[in-house]
Structure 1
C-alpha cells in the first residue's frame, strides 16, 4: 500500500483556502458595501437617449410658441423700432429682450431634459452619496493599466455600440431626407416662416427616430451593464465564509464561548448546592436541589437541577456538604420538566415537596 500511495494529500486544505473562483452570487452585505463605495451599474447610453428624446419632444411641443416669439421679436425691431436712434440704451434694451426671448424658448427644453435626466438616473441607481469615487487612484496613471483598458472587452463593447449608433443615425437621416427630398426645390418659392416650419419638422422627425433607436440601444446596454455588474460582484466560497465569520463570528470561537458560559453557569449552580435543604433524585437520571427559607420565601426555590452527568455531580456535591438526598422519581421528573433554576415550586407539587421537607427537617432534628 505504501508503494501505491507514496503520499497523502489533505483535500480539506484546498476547501478551506481561497481558490479565486468567483462562482457565488453576491451577498446582501457585499452589495451594500459596493453601493456605499459608489459601485453601481447604469447605462450612460440610456441616459443620453432619454435626455435627447425628452428634449426633442419638448422642442416639438413648444415649436409654435418658439416661432411666435421669434416672429414678435423680429417684427418689433424691424418694423416698430427701426426708426429709433442706435444708441447704447437701444442696444442694451435689445440685448435684454433677446435674452428674455431665448430664455422663454429654451427654458421648457432645459426643464424637460433636467427632469428626465434626474428621473432616469434615479430609476437606474436610486439615491447614492459616496465620495470614494472621487478619491484619486494612482493605478489610473499606470500606462500598462491604461493600455489594458483600451484593449479590454468593455472597450470593444463601447466601440461596437458607437458603430451601431453611427450606422443607425446615418440610416435614419438618409431615409428622412429621402422622404422629404421632393420638397427642397420648393423652398425657393416659400416664405421664410414656412421654410423654417418645414425644416424644423424634418429635423424633429430625425431626432425623434434617432432617440427611439438610441433608447433601444440603451436598454440593451443596461442589460449588459447589469450582467457585468453582477459578474464583478460575484464571490468565492471562501469570501462568503470569511464574510460570515466577520458578521456572525467564527463558529469555533462562538462554540468555545458557549462552552465557557456553560461551564461558568454550572460552577455557579454547583456553588448553590451546599445551601440547599434537600436534593430530590430519580435516583440517577435527574436531580433537583431545593432551598426553603420560611421567613423569606413563599415556596421552595429551585437552585440547581440537572440530568445524567450533571445530576450525578449535584448528588456528589450534596453528599460532600451534608445535604440530604431523597429519592422520589416522579417528583424529581416533575420538578425537572416544569421548573427552571430560580423558579418557585409550582402549586400542584406543594404537597409532595412539603412532605419531603418535613421528613428532612425531622431527620435533622434526630441527628
Structure 2
C-alpha cells in the first residue's frame, strides 16, 4: 500500500498541470516553437494578392497587351538567328518580370506581415537543425494517427468546402452573363472573367481569414497545452534560477570567509581597537588624506571579535575598552566607511589618548 501511495504521488508530481513559466515560454520561443496558423498566412496572402490584381489589373493588361503586340508585329518578322532568339528571350523575360514584380512584391509583404502579426520578430536556427528523432517511423506514425492530425484533416475539409461553396455561388450567380460572353469582344470577355476571378479570390481570402481566427485560437491553446509543466518542473526551474540552497549557502560562507580574511588584513594598520571587552571589537583608523573622519576597517562580535583582538595584540595595535561605544559602533557603522557624526567626539578622545601614549603628537 505504501508503494502504491508513493507511485501515485510520483505520477501526480510529474503530471503536466501547471501553466508554463515566463522562462519556459521564452526558451520555447527561442527554439522556434510559437503558436502560428498557416491559414492566417493563406487568407492574408489571397486578400493582398487579389487586391493588388484589382488595383493594378489595368496596368498589367496593358503591359501584356504590348508584349503580345510586339511579338506578332515585330518579332515575327525577324530572321531566325541565335542573336535574335537570345534578344527575344531577354526582352520577353524582362517584360514578364516587370509584369510579375508588383504582384510578387505584394505577396512577399503579405507573407512577412502575417508572420509578424502572429509571431513578432524572431530569429532562430533551432528548427533548421538536423534531428534524427524526426526520422523515427514510430513517432511519425503516431503523428499521422494523432488527435492533432485528425483536427488538421477536419480543418482542410472545412476550408475546401468553404472555398468550393464560395466559388460555386459566385459562378452560379453570374452564369447567365458567362453564356453571353461568347457574343462579346475578347477584351470585354477578359475584363469580365478577370473581375469574376478577383471576386472569387477576395471572397475566398476573406473567408479563410475568418476561419484562421478560430484556427489561431486553437493553435495557441494547443501550444500552451504542449508546454505545460509539472509541479516538479516548476520547482526544478526555480531551483536552477535561484541556485541550489546548499550551494548558495556554501558560496555565502566562502564570501564571509574571504571578507573576514580581507578585514583581518586591515587590523595591523589600525590606530586603535575599541572593545566591549569580550563580545565586540571595532578597529579604527584615521587618515586625514583619505577621509575627514575615522574609518572602521574591521568589526566583529564574539569569535570574530576575539580574532581581531588577537591580530591587534600580535601587531602591537592598542586596544581600548569602552563597552557602550563598541556596541554602538558595531551596530551603526559599516566596514571601510567613516564613522557617524555622533561618534566623532568619543572616538576623537580615544585617538588622542592613543596618540599621546604612542607619542604621535
TM-score by length of 1: 0.78
Q: State the partner residue of 2:138.
A: 144
Asked whether the equivalents of residues 43 and 225 of structure 1 are also in contact (C-alpha less than 8 Å), the reply is yes
Distance (whole Å) between structure 2 residues aligned to residue 109 and residue 294 of structure 1? 79
Task: Find out whether 1:126 has 2:108 as its counterpart.
Answer: no
Distance 1:40 1:82 in 2: 53
Aligned residue for 1:3?
none
- Deviation at 1:74? 4.1
Shift of 1:153: 1.7
Q: Which deviates further from its counterpart, 244-253 or 92-101?
A: 92-101
How far, CA to CA, are the matches of 1:167 and 1:336 in structure 2?
82
- Residue matched to 2:167: 173
Change (3 A) 1:153 1:320: same
Q: In structure 2, what is the equivalent of residue 205 of structure 1?
A: 199
Measured after TM superposition, the shift of residue 233 of structure 1 is 2.2
RMSD of Structure 2 on Structure 1 (CA): 4.1
Gaps of at least 5 residues in structure 1 are: 1-5
Q: How far 1:312 sits from its partner (Å)?
A: 6.8
Measured after TM superposition, the shift of residue 162 of structure 1 is 0.6
| Range that drifts further, 63-72 or 199-208 | 63-72
2:237 corresponds to 1:250: no
Residue aligning to 2:34 = 40
Q: 1:129-155 CA distances to partner (integer Å, 9 max, x unpaired)?
A: 433323333233332212111111211
Instruction: Tell whether 2:48 aligns with 1:54.
Output: yes
Match of 2:321 among 318, 323, 326: 326
Distance 1:95 1:294 in 2: 91
Q: How does 1:293-308 map to 2 (within 5 A)?
A: 301-307=295-301
CA distance 1:68–1:263, shift in 2 (3 Å): closer
SS in 1 for 2:14: coil
Q: Distance in 2 between matches of 1:155 and 1:8?
A: 38
In structure 2, stretches of 5+ residues that fail to align are: none
SS of 1:19's equivalent in the other structure is helix
Q: Structure 1 residue 84 and structure 2 residue 85: aligned?
A: no
Q: 2:19 is matched with which residue? A: 25
**Partners in 1 of 2:87 and 2:281 — Cα distance?**
104
Q: Does 1:236 align with 2:235?
A: no
Q: CA deviation at 1:159?
A: 0.6
C-alpha separation in 2, matches of 1:362 and 1:209: 101
- Tell me the matched-pair count: 354
Partner of 1:107: helix, strand, or coil? Answer: helix
Partner secondary structure for residue 302 of structure 1: strand
Counterpart of 2:15 in 1: which secondary structure? Answer: coil
Tell me the equivalent position of 1:116: 110
1:327-342 matches, within 5 Å, as 327-329=322-324, 331-342=325-336
Displacement of 1:197? 1.1
Deviation of 1:190 after TM superposition, in Å, equals 0.8
How far the C-alpha of 1:252 sits from its partner, in A, is: 1.9
Q: CA deviation at 1:326?
A: 2.2
Deviation at residue 191 of structure 1 after TM alignment: 1.0
Q: Cα 1:204–1:256, aligned 2, differ >3 Å: closer, same or farther?
A: same
Q: How far does residue 207 in structure 1 lie from its aligned partner after superposition?
A: 0.9
Q: How far off is 1:210 after superposition?
A: 0.4
CA contact (8 A) 1:279 1:318 kept: no
Rounded Cα–Cα distance in structure 2 between residues aligned with 1:9 and 1:351: 73
Structure 1 pair 354–190 and aligned structure 2 pair: CA distance change class (3 A): closer
DSSP 3-state at the match of 1:62 = helix
Contact kept? 1:301, 1:343, Cα under 8 Å: yes
Q: 1:261 offset after TM fit, Å? A: 2.8
Matched, 1:158 2:169: no
Q: Runs ≥4 in structure 1, deviation > 6 angstroms?
A: 6-11, 270-276, 292-299, 318-322, 360-365
Deviations 1:275-310 (A, max 9, x none): 7644243x7775434457999997655344345x45
Q: 1:220 aligns with which of 188, 203, 214?
A: 214
Deviation at 1:7, TM superposition (A): 7.6
TM-score by length of 2: 0.79
Partners of 1:277 and 1:292 within 8 A in 2: no
